Amino acid sequence: MSAYDELLERLKDIDMIGQIGGLLGWDQEVLMPPKAAALRAEQLAWASKAGHMRLTDPRIGELLEELEASEELDDVQAANIRLARESYDKATKLPTEFVAEMAKHRSESLVSWTEARAKDDFSIFRDNLAKSIDLARQKADYLGFDELRYDALLDIYETGLTVARLDPLFAGLRDSVAPLIKAVVESENRPDMSWVEGNSWAQSGQEALSQGVTEAIGFDFDAGRRDVSTHPFCGGTNPDDVRWTTRYSESDPFGSLYGSMHETGHGTYEQGRRRDLDFQPAGEANGLGVHESQSRMWENQVGRSREFCEWVLPLWQQHFPENMEGVSAKALWQAVNLVEPSLIRVEADEATYNLHIMIRYEIEKRLIAGDLEVDDLPDAWDDMYEKFLGIRAPNRALGVLQDIHWSMGAFGYFPTYTLGNLYAAQLLAAAREDLPEHDEQIRRGEFAPLLAWMREHVHQRGSILEPADLIEEATGSPPSPDAFVEYLQDKVERLYGVTA
């Protein structure tokens, strides 16, 4: 057996353990009985420990040293070796017992967060959150960093991401978008939402509507499934088993539809990966920013377009005939694009969404640096919402407890959502150049051409390139906020007749 084949065999074993852990995590959020929580924590800790022990086996280091000396590698082999080296170097910096402790704590913390959110009681989650922050700091210290501890955590989710790169990005977005939001609010040109807010929307109708849209986009339900969870997510093991969740509110039909379209974007990415690269790092999705570009594109830039609203209106009328009586495609388009400061990130409009991310980013920086204490966090959260969005949460469930990420120890994750918005706009602008009939295709519900473009330029490319290089290859330009800002300004002008 060659060194390369041996490396791939070892990486497959590690990936299989990760897939099993992923299924255990999915079950914990969707189907697991409450009394199984303690056992599940032990199971997940074991899986993490087992995977970490295999990844840190000195033999992998020996194989990498041998292969890195080779000058006869193709692009896939080079990517597998580069990615395996990154994983090996990071893993060998983390003690195995520490990895097991983190996994066990994530499981326990998820349970306390779920209860705290349901009961609107931060104190239930407080101690577990404090430990999660401490573990995140320890992890950053183990991994190492040049300037800021938080940089080590950012790099986990997007290679090369740092505070130095993000600070100017958020400042630029704030300077471009905040005046736009202000202009919309001051215009008082609010769309008619009475037909939405004055009706009750049965869950059965929402389920049928979401199912129809998801199937039309191209998600294969023979290789995936949809369920309900407290916080929507997409997971699963490989392209043959992709699982995503949504949630329902009978007072808000948009949350489930656009949440479903968001997770469908993640799901179609997973289902579109190269099958000849199963179990190989080069075949995996390319970082969370790129992954988020697929979900945000389908959710917002397709799903909230005028053309999509014209296509989907008959489905709304079919599943909610009484509620949709007299509602036009234009009224639907205006309603789903309501620009208005709100409390919940996952339900935020495109204009205000990045401000939600910016708030979390600023809070995380302070938490990891030790400049903000856990007991001061809930009020600090509310203060920042009041400062940047002009609103304040009436309770903790709508404030600091709304997101699942900190219960999972995912500090450094949130900024990838903003990167996803920027990447999505840039990718769609490039796709439009190759698909001159794009708008008419969306109006007819023909989503296959756009999905095929993303398959070729994003999904099938896996992680062969680093994220920024993938975006440049697909679009012809390095990552930039320009396409997103231009898209948003154009859309707001058409909807509200205002410019910043």
Q: Under DSSP, is residue 238 helix (H, G, I), strand (E, B) or coil?
A: strand
Strands 224-228 and 241-246, bridge-based pairing: parallel
DSSP string for 78-118 = HHHHHHHHHHHHHHHTS-HHHHHHHHHHHHHHHHHHHHHHH
Determine the pLDDT at residue 111. Answer: 93
Tokens at 494, concatenated = 């058409």
Q: Name the helix (H) or strand (E) containing 70.
A: none
Determine the pLDDT at residue 230. Answer: 84
Tokens at 241, concatenated = 């088993």
Count Cβ neighbours within 10 Å for each residue of 190-207 and write b for 16 or more, e otherwise.
ebeeeebeeeebeeebbb
Rounded distance between C-alpha atoms, residue 148 and residue 162, angstroms:
8
Is the pLDDT at 444 greater than 80? The verdict is: yes
Determine the pLDDT at residue 287. Answer: 87
Residue 269 or 184, more confident:
269
Backbone angles phi, psi at 8, to 5 degrees: -65, -40
Q: Which domains does the chain have, with CATH numbers?
A: 3-144 (no CATH), 163-496 (1.10.1370.30)
Determine the pLDDT at residue 235. Answer: 87
> pTM for the full model?
0.90
Confidence of residue 499 (pLDDT cuts 50, 70, 90): confident
Tell me the helices (H) and strands (E) count for the chain, helix number first.
Answer: 21, 3
Give the tens place of pLDDT for each residue, 12-26: 999 999 999 999 999
Give the tens place of pLDDT for each residue, 459-492: 999 999 999 999 999 999 999 999 999 999 999 9
Assess contact for 292 and 423: CB atoms under 8 A: yes
Binding-site residue set: 262, 266, 292
Average pLDDT on 131-147 reads: 97
Q: What is the mean pLDDT of the chain?
A: 95
Average pLDDT on 51-63 reads: 97
Is the pLDDT at 500 greater than 80? The verdict is: no
Determine the pLDDT at residue 458. Answer: 98
Give the catalytic positions in this structure: 263
Tokens at 183, concatenated = 């202009």
Give the tens place of pLDDT for each residue, 230-247: 888 998 789 999 999 999
Determine the pLDDT at residue 174. Answer: 87
Determine the pLDDT at residue 320. Answer: 98
Is the pLDDT at 407 greater than 90? The verdict is: yes
Residue 227: name the closest of 276, 267, 171, 274 by CA.
267
Gyration radius from the chain CA atoms: 23
Binding-site residue set for Zn(2+): 262, 266, 292
Is the pLDDT at 92 greater than 80? The verdict is: yes
Hey, what's the torsion of the CAs at 9, 14, 18, 20, to 10 degrees?
70
Residue 227 pairs with which residues in a beta bridge? 245
Tokens at 446, concatenated = 């023909």
Residue 245 pairs with which residues in a beta bridge? 227
Assess contact for 273 and 241: CB atoms under 8 A: no
